Structure 1
Amino acid sequence: MIALEDLRMAATLARSESLSAAARALNVTPSALSMRLRKLETRLGILLASRDARRLSLTADGERFARESALLLEQLEALPESFKQRDDQLAGILRLAAPFGYGRQRIAPLLARFAKLHPQLSLHLDLRETPWPDRHDSDAVVHIGTLNDSQWIARPLAKNDRWLCASPAYLEQHGVPASPDQLSAHRCICIRENDEDVTLWQMSKGSVKKTLRIEPALLSNDGSVARRWAEQGLGIVLRSQWDVSEGIASGSLIRVLADWELASAPVNLLVPVRKHRTARVQVLMEFLETALRA
């Protein structure tokens, strides 16, 4: 008999590049997952996957079994919704992925409010460096910045300008740049995210456009770290408005070259097309759109 854990294992293996990655997603050891896979293959009498230390690939039978497993899991998770309580509360599991910084600062508090509105829901918030729906087990994904090709639909959540900022101490010591060309004489802090060319800063002021190639004095894949470096007087950072607005209000950061615009990084919610979208995702989408626009 095929167990629910077998279905989850097959669906996860189809989304994972290696047995180790699948094991992490399922919160088991690779050896335990390998043993479970072998037992399932013995039970079915077919080979589901070929694997080595670095890579895992499903056989044709394995791909079919994974597709059927994912479909069955989706039907099982949607089953509680067909038996809604009289108070019309949603039930089941809702998985949302979001970037680390924005997820902690903006999404997590909103999910706390959402959880109180729908106490029958089991909410899973997965914070990642670069969340993307085509590669992960998520019902919806918060994405910031440039959108790559995806079969999912992007729903705008919030405008997100990017600002150049530095601490008062840094500007007092190094001076305030009066034009983009003067940035080359300053220590600049860059953030590596979403596979973007983060050292290419494009700025505009009316019809005047400037493209600068930055030699970063400091580089990090964590935006919060980069912001703190700027607050500590280590340089000028290009950071999203949502992350630096409090620092500017408190005086720990000062916006520089404010009359120049930089490419924005809008916040979007990536959701499946409507026919594959559950009621849980639809309600979450409407809640986030209303809350973040407010």
Structure 2
Amino acid sequence: MNCLADLRMFSEIARSQSMASAANRLGMAPATISGRLKALEDYYGMTLVRRTTRSLLLTEEGRLLLERAEPVLSGFADLEREMDGRRHAVEGGLVVSCATDIGRGHVLPLVHAFARTHPHVKFSLRYDPPGSLNEIHFDAALRAGPVKDSGLTIRKLFTMETVTAATPGYLAEHGIPASPEALGDHDCLRLEGSMIGGDVWTFEAGAQRSIAVGGRFRASDPETLKTLSLQGLGVLRTARADIEPELRLGRLVPILAPFEPAAARVSLISDTRRRLPARTAAFIDFALQHFAGGSSEKPTQ
């Protein structure tokens, strides 16, 4: 028994007071209507309709069923209209998950531009540590490097350069490290949950080098570490976009440039497009246009 469809059929029979009229309105054969009404009566174990030579009359139980069914049918019709509207209207909540490493200088201009274009979208912007995307709730996610979670759609957005830097004053006092290994003699500002600026910093120069770093300061907020760096309290490793103005003005000086790895690929990740609400689909399209030249691929299963 299909409860909702059968209640809808019963409501139409009650309105039409004719099996033939109900069948015509529902686009069904009269014999089918008759059979489904009998099945409904068998399900409840009582007669719902009395058939006369001229029309159909509801029994007391039939009237009760109709009275209780109509609000359910009306509510479901409202729900269908609302869900259809959600499928097409760019509105509602959008959860964007960014890896801790993703530069704010890349993400915030994108979010700001999209928010201005779509004022009815409410943002929840989160910075999450590395981990499986299957373990968190998100509508769209930005991640650097390879993404292994299956069943997700991955689109290339941009490449992100890493930079290691310190203030001129810090370098004058502590010296300029000539190699990644020399960072062991420096205060390195470490970002919790970061793959590029955490407790291990990875460099490349012929071969990959993973350097365990230490220092007096560790934080979960990259802006805090940036402030500490500008105060001359240590060496910072971050996305170049986040400190580009400070590098340009000479407030921070890049070091170890020959050892920095190639720019990391940053991807936009989502569920398959056929399941996406309009707000998520619009954000994906907007992000691809914003960064110009994004491509879409499915991971190997």
What does 1:193-272 correspond to in 2, within 5 Å?
193=193, 198-205=198-205, 207-262=206-261, 264-272=263-271
Tell me how far 1:112 sits from its aligned partner. 3.5
Preserved CA contact (<8 Å) 2:101 2:195: no
CA distance 1:103–1:238, shift in 2 (3 Å): closer
Aligned residue number for residue 156 of structure 2: 156
Aligned residue number for residue 64 of structure 1: none
CA distance 1:151–1:233, shift in 2 (3 Å): same
Q: How many residues align?
A: 213
Distance 2:196 2:256 in 1: 22
What does 1:58-207 correspond to in 2, within 5 Å?
78-81=83-86, 90-99=89-98, 105-119=105-119, 121-130=120-129, 133-144=133-144, 147=147, 149-193=149-193, 198-205=198-205, 207=206
1:274 and 2:273 correspond: yes
CA distance 1:125–1:202, shift in 2 (3 Å): same
Preserved CA contact (<8 Å) 2:157 2:287: yes
CA distance 1:113–1:199, shift in 2 (3 Å): closer
Corresponding letter in the other structure for 1:203: F
Corresponding letter in the other structure for 1:149: D
Preserved CA contact (<8 Å) 1:97 1:138: yes
Q: What root-mean-square deviation, in Å, do the aligned CA atoms of Structure 1 and Structure 2 show? A: 3.2
Could you give the per-residue CA deviations for residues 54-108 of structure 1, whole angstroms, max 9, x where no partner exists?
xxxxxxxxxxxxxxxxxxxx977642156x6xxxxx4332413234796865434
Aligned residue number for residue 287 of structure 1: 286
TM-score, reference length from structure 2:
0.60
Higher Cα radius of gyration:
2
Could you give the per-residue CA deviations for residues 126-172 of structure 1, whole angstroms, max 9, x where no partner exists?
33443875344432223345645353222222211211110111011
| Other structure's SS at 2:151 match | coil
TM-score, reference length from structure 1:
0.61
Task: Point out where structure 2 has 5 or more consecutive residues left out of the alignment.
Answer: 1-78, 294-301
Aligned residue number for residue 36 of structure 1: none
| Other structure's SS at 2:160 match | coil
Corresponding letter in the other structure for 1:79: D
Distance 1:169 1:157 in 2: 36
Identity of aligned residues (%): 23
Distance 1:81 1:142 in 2: 24
Deviates more, 1:247-256 or 1:177-186: 177-186
Preserved CA contact (<8 Å) 1:240 1:265: no
